[in-house]
Structure 1
Amino acid sequence: MFKHIIDNDIELRLVNVQYAEEIFKSIDSSRKHLRKYLPWVDTTKSAIDTRAFIDNSKRQYAENKGFDAGIWYKGEFAGVIGFHNINPSIKGISIGYWLNERFVGKGIMTKACRVFVDYAFNTLELNRVEIRCAEDNFKSGAIPERLGFTKEGIIRDGELLCDGYVNSLVYGILKREWK
């Protein structure tokens, strides 16, 4: 099973059904915070829904189409980070992520993203990594900016969220730009 220790406080583990209840409880306890930018939050009503997410993630992993890892902070489940939308024609991939509100502002996601970008370039031998976020999601947008990504543009009405369409910012970084 995939496991990566980032530092004394942060660990990444491949999502697994044994964590379904913890993941669901984290979503449920941070529902108001998460639903503003994540359209799937309202349809995640029980640990059964979380298990379906985990099953889909495991299928993705088995088919070499990406994977999701749980983020553990000081032994507590804190959020998820994942690879999505592999584009073999340009050797590119997208990273998605979320954190329980209690863990925001501790640098956890920046460290997890750094590990994922390193993995994309050095292990998967990809050429491009992309992160998208809602235009007004400043905390999420700060992560790729801290990591040296380039803000490449805005996709108007690029995402349908709970309160309607929002513009999406697109950030990208190429292997030759990654330090």
Structure 2
Amino acid sequence: MSETSDTPEPEEDGAPGALPSWVPGDMDDDAAGAGDAADAALAADADDAADDAVDDVADEGDVDDGAAAAPADAAPAATGEPVTIVLADRLRTPEAEELAETLRASVGASELVFDAREVSDIGAAAVACIISTLHARADISPPAAILSPSPAFVDAFSDLGLFQDLMKMEFRQ
């Protein structure tokens, strides 16, 4: 009874370690070494590209490229003053990006209040920004307050299964 194998048979000479017939005949130890050198060069290029990307992200904070600044009522992180953020009526991804920047600028606020009375359309990205801020401010009780939340604002949290996070905030009229 003969056994079958999925591995290719060795060359005709049957020498141990001989290359299978489907491997090009011009492959030798020097060519394999060149491939290793090429792989190392590609890996080094990839590492350099990754380092450059990290440097670019780090430099973004140092360069004023005319990006929208945080609202005037958003205090810098070091002030420790109260901050009220008036939420727009529509908070989709572009507005969520602006909200995230505003929230980053208000990290050190002694009190954070979201004025949510005008919110009529809020997406998951904006809700995620707010939840992220609540988690970052978890050691503060309450982590934030909501001024007159609209039904759409409350519904967005409920629809995403995040009502318990909404309830961690203080509600104000």
Specify if TM > 0.5. Answer: no
TM-score range, shorter chain: 0.3 to 0.5
Structure having the higher Rg: 2
Q: Which has the higher strand share?
A: 1
Larger RCO of the pair (alpha carbons < 8 Å, separation 6+): 1
Please give the TM-score of this superposition, normalised by the length of structure 1. Answer: 0.35
Please give the TM-score of this superposition, normalised by the length of structure 2. Answer: 0.36
